[in-house]
Amino acid sequence: MPSGNKGGGDGLLNTCEHCCTRVEDLTVKLGSNVILSRVNLHVNCGEVVGVVGPNGAGKTTLLRTLMGEMPYQGKISFRVGGNPSQTPQIGYVPQKLHLEKGAPVSVADLVASAVTRRPVWAGIDGSTAGRVKEVLSLFSAEHLVKRKIGDLSGGELQRVLLAIAMTPAPDLLLLDEPAGGVDAKGLALFYRIVRGLRQTHDISVILVTHDLAGIYSYVDKMVLLNRGVIAEGAPQEVLADGKLVEVFGAALWNISCLPDIVKDKGKGGDNAD
């Protein structure tokens, strides 16, 4: 499912008229530890951007900084509907929840908490229940409504969390490692749904993952992050870049579903050494 507007996208990127999220010279430190260094990132409206990098590359920190949770140096600006915005609506799908297996929180409880202020401990009324089902059905999850959150499989949980992140519809959707604990089939379904959101919503998506092989056919742009931006561009370009191998190391060409171009590049680099 390659994107259709790659050429146009690159042209717009230079002028950045269509940037919905723009990160300039972003540095994030935790004590004396530099987690992100001079990161520049432009996300166009309606674009799905994959940020890939090894563990500890600062991916989650990037998302938390965009959400306003971390102090930073540099500039972050958002545009909503063509106008600058300080507080865009952000949808966020966390990597994991702070939740024990037996916790008595049902899928309906969580989604109802997102659609109404009426407290769910007092029960979910009919009209809320209807809206909960409606929201879940958009993400192939309506059958999960009575299940406990802790009993869901990785893929099911991701879809429920996505349904919540999309309610109300955000301007920017942030996905943190959706591949964790999700099987290949569930992941493909999840990426397809995310990709489909672009048709129905005016939304940009930043997807953070180490699952290079899984996302490359679903994103418009790929950013290789390892504390700083190592490479960025159309997925094919980034995959063809020799730096990919430097960052990910030898583990990379064990992934059988990567395009051949990467494996050739990787082996070439290896021989040269």
Partner 1 sequence: MPIDFWYKLVNTLPFEWAHYVFMENALLAVLLVTPLFALMGTMVVSNRMVFFTDVLGHSALTGIAIGVLLGFQDPVLPMLLLAVLLSVGVNLLKNMTRASMDTVLGVLFAFIVALGIVILSRRGGFAKYTGYLIGDILTVTPAQIGWLLAIAAAVMVYWLAAGNAMIFTSISSSLARSRKVNTFWVETSFTLLLALVVILSIRLAGILIINSLLVLPAAAARNISRNMRAYTAWAVLISLFSGISGLIVSFYWGTASGATIVLFAAACYSVSALFGAGRNR
Residues of this chain that interact with partner 1 (CB under 8 A) are 64, 67-69, 90-92, 94, 97-99, 102-106, 108-110, 112-114, 116-124, 146, 148-149, 161, 164-165, 174
Alpha carbon distance, N-terminus to C-terminus of the chain: 35
The three-state secondary structure class of 207 is strand
User: Least CB distance from residue 259 to partner 1, whole Å?
Assistant: 34
C-beta neighbour count of 228 within 10 angstroms: 16
Task: Report in angstroms how near the CB of residue 242 gets to partner 1 at its nearest.
Answer: 35
Within a 13 Å sphere around the CA of 53, how many CA atoms are in the beta-carbon half? 23
Cβ of 247: how many Cβ atoms within 10 Å?
A: 18
Q: How far is the CB of 254 from partner 1 (least distance, A)?
A: 32
Closer to partner 1 by Cβ: residue 68 or 268: 68
Q: Which is nearer to partner 1, 53 or 88 (CB)?
A: 88
120: left (phi over 0), alpha (psi -120 to 50) or beta: alpha
Closer to partner 1 at the Cβ: 142 or 237?
142
Residue 140 buriedness (CB in 10 A; 0-12 / 13-18 / 19+): middle
Minimum CB separation of residue 253 from partner 1 in Å reads: 34
Q: Specify the residue, 167 or 235, whose C-beta has the smaller distance to partner 1.
A: 167
Backbone angles phi, psi at 130, to 5 degrees: -60, -45
Residue 171 burial (10 A CB sphere; 0-12, 13-18, 19+): buried
Nearer to partner 1, 19 or 162 (CB): 162
Find the shortest distance in angstroms from Cβ 62 to partner 1. Answer: 13
